[in-house]
């Protein structure tokens, strides 16, 4: 079995979104303390369960990203894009409702929009070649 790297630009962009997702998941899974620090989160003193949640979330991201890379199917890319689109929508709700209007939230919103757009633009045929 060979490693498949897409030849079309649109699929390469969707592949990059999946690869970034897998990389972020890997970091969250194996270095949750660093990931929490980057996101401005912290585990409560004496309660280490937060690391388990961070690792679990990282495992999900890693599994989803690797599935998209290995299967390289339109439906998987659509699911990846739709998931990030919903995450971006949830972040917008948080910015508006939770008084979370800060630089980190806006930067992460831009990242989530980009990670949603790349696979969705490919799947819906807006990026070809």
pLDDT per residue over 63-98, tens digit each? Answer: 999 999 999 999 999 999 999 999 999 999 999 999
This prediction has a pTM of 0.90
**Which tens digits make up the pLDDT trace of 25-56?**
999 999 998 999 888 888 887 677 888 989 99
C-alpha to C-alpha distance for 65 and 69, rounded to whole angstroms = 6
| 22-38 per-residue burial string, b: 16 or more CB within 10 A, e: under 16 | bebbbbbbeebeebbee
Tally of CB atoms within 10 A around 129: 8
């Amino acid at each position: 079995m060979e490693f498949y790297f897409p030849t079309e630009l649109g699929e390469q962009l969707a592949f990059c979104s999946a690869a970034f997702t897998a990389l972020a998941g890997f970091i969250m899974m194996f270095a949750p303390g660093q990931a929490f620090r980057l996101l401005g989160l912290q585990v409560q003193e004496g309660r280490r369960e937060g690391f388990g949640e961070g690792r679990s979330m990282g495992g999900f991201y890693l599994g989803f990203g690797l599935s998209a890379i290995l299967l390289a199917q339109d439906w998987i890319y659509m699911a990846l894009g739709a998931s990030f689109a919903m995450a971006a929508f949830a972040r917008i709700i948080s910015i508006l409702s939770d008084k979370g209007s800060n630089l980190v939230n806006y930067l992460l919103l831009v990242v989530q929009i980009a990670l949603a757009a790349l696979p969705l633009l490919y799947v819906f045929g807006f990026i070809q070649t």
